Amino acid sequence: MSVIVNEVRRSTYLDSIVLMRISRQLAELPGVEEAGLVIGTPANKEILREAHILGPDGAKAEPGDLIVALRAKDSAAAEAALAEAKRLLEHPEISGAPALENASRTMRAAFQRMPDANLALISVPGHFAAAEARKALAFGLNVMIFSDNVPIEEEMALKREARERGLLVMGPDCGTAIIGGVPLAFANVVPRGDIGLIGASGTGIQEVSCLVARAGGGISHAIGTGGRDLRAEVGAIATLMAIDALEADAATRHIVLISKPPAEAVARLVLDRVARSRKPFTICFLGARDLALPANARCAATLKAAAELAMGRAAENGPTQLSLLRADGGKLVRGLFAGGTLCAEAQIVFRQAGLAVASNVPVPGAAAIADANRGHLMIDLGADEFTRGRPHPMIEPSVRDRPLIDALADPAVGVILIDVVLGYGGHRDPAGHVANVINSHDRRPLILASVTGTDRDPQPRDAQVQRLTEAGVIVAESNADAADMAIRAIGG
C-alpha cells in the first residue's frame, strides 16, 4: 500500500526552478509514485492535496516554509527519497551550475555585498514578491519580478512607485530578459547588437531574439514587461518606460514591441509614444492587422515577421523550405506547445489561412470549434491546467508525453506540430526527450518542429535539431514556418 510522507523545513526558500528540478529527480527514483517540493502557501498546499501527496505535517506548513511531499510504494522507498531530497537541497543546481556559495539571505545584505548593482531579480512566492520588490526599489534598484501570482493591484502600485523613483519594474511574471548582453531567467545566448526588444511575452522575446541572432543580427537589450502591463488597469507603465530607455540608448537602432493585442486605449497610448520617437519600430501585437501606425513603425503579424522587419528585410509569407511535404493519412493537425506565445502564433497562422482551429490559448477573432477532437487543435502545455503541481514543459518535457503519445496513436491526426525551446533554465536535452517518445511508437504521422535557440545556448541548437532529425522530425527555421508547412501538408 502506498505511503505519503511530508517533511517541512521551517523558514526555508529556494527558487521555484530549483524545486521543480528536484521534484523531477525524486519522482524518477525507484518506488516513488509522485513528488513535489513547494513553498507552503495555501495555493501550493492545494496543489499537493489535489496530487494526493499532502500529509498532516505539510498541511500545517506556513507560507515561509518548504514542504517536501512524497508518495511512495512503501516506507523504505519513501525514506530513501527523503534522504536524496536532503542531499539535493543542500547542493541545488540549475542547468549544471552549482548554487552560489555564501549567498546573501536578505536584500540588504545582497546590496551591501554589491553596492554597484542596479538590478534585482525577484523570484519568491507571489505572496512575498511585492515586499521584496519594494525593498529593492528603496535601494535604488531596477527590478525584474520572475514571480507570478502577484495581485494586479500590487503590480500597479509597484510600477507607479518605480516610475516616481525613475526606476523600471519588469513583471510580475516576467520570464525573460536580456540586459546588457546578460540572459536572465528563460533567455538565450545571443550576440550584442542594435535591436532592442520590449515584450509582454517571454517565449515571444526568445523567438524573435534567436531569429535575429541566426540571421546575423544582435540584441542591445530585451526588456520584459510582464503579461499584464498592457492591460487597461496597468496602462503600459513598464512598456512606456522601456521605450524611453531604449530611445536613450545609443546602441539601440531599431525597437520591436511584442505582445498580444492590448486594450484599445492602451494601444493608442503606446503608439502615440512611438510616434514621438526618433527611432524606427516594429509593432508585433500578435495577430493584429491594419493598425493605424505612425510613420516610423511597421506592423508584424507574427514573430517571424517581426524579426525580419527588425533586420531591415521584407516579411516573407510561408516557409522557405520543404513546402511540398504532404500528410500521410489523417488530415488533422495537432499542435503541442511548450511556449504559450508560440502556440498563439501557430493559431494565428492557421486563422490567416482561413482554417478554424481550437486552442486553449484564446486569440481574438478565432473561429470556435464545438468538437475539438474533430478539428485542428493547438494546445499550450504550459497553461495552468497542465502544470498544476508539475514543472513547466520547458523545464520538464515529459509534460508533453501523454498528449504526444495520444496524437501519434490517433489515425485522424496527419500532422503533429511541436516547439522545442532552448536556453537558460530549460531542460538539458528537450529534443532528445521528444525523440525518445517518438522512437518508442510505430505510427509516424508527419511531425514538424521549430527549435527556438542558438548554438551558444546550454543546449546547442544544431545538436538539438540533429536529435529531432534523426527521429524523423522535419525542423523548420521558425515556429511560423512550421505552422505554415503544416497547413500546406494537409492541402490547406
Distance CA 167, CA 92 (A): 32
Is 251 inside a domain boundary?
A: yes
What confidence category does residue 148 fall into, taking pLDDT thresholds of 50, 70 and 90?
A: confident
pTM for the complete prediction? 0.86
Residue owning grid cell 525584474: 144
Distance CA 372, CA 310 (A): 36
Is the pLDDT at 319 greater than 70? The verdict is: no
Say if residue 226 is in the same domain as residue 150.
yes
* CB atoms near residue 56 (< 10 Å): 8
Say if residue 224 is in the same domain as residue 269.
yes
The continuous run of DSSP H or E covering 18 comes out as helix 16-27
pLDDT tens string 165-199 = 999 999 999 999 999 999 999 999 999 999 999 99
Distance CA 462, CA 283 (A): 30
Q: CA dihedral defined by 18, 24, 27, 28, rounded to 10 degrees?
A: -120
| DSSP label at residue 10 | T
Say if residue 25 is in the same domain as residue 157.
no
Three-state DSSP at 275 gives helix
Say if residue 141 is in the same domain as residue 243.
yes
Is the pLDDT at 474 greater than 80? The verdict is: yes
Say if residue 44 is in the same domain as residue 121.
no
- Domain total of the chain: 3
* CB atoms near residue 224 (< 10 Å): 33
Q: Which domain holds residue 29?
A: 3-96
Q: What is the structure's pLDDT at 368? A: 38
Is the pLDDT at 372 greater than 60? The verdict is: no
Indicate which CATH number applies to the domain containing 429: 3.40.50.261
Name the domain boundary from 277, 310, 343. 310
Mean pLDDT of the chain: 89
Distance CA 253, CA 162 (A): 26
Distance CA 327, CA 407 (A): 14
Q: What is the structure's pLDDT at 374? A: 59
Say if residue 422 is in the same domain as residue 277.
no
Q: Are 242 and 174 in contact (CB under 8 A)?
A: no
Is 322 inside a domain boundary?
A: no
Say if residue 54 is in the same domain as residue 203.
no
Say if residue 92 is in the same domain as residue 115.
no
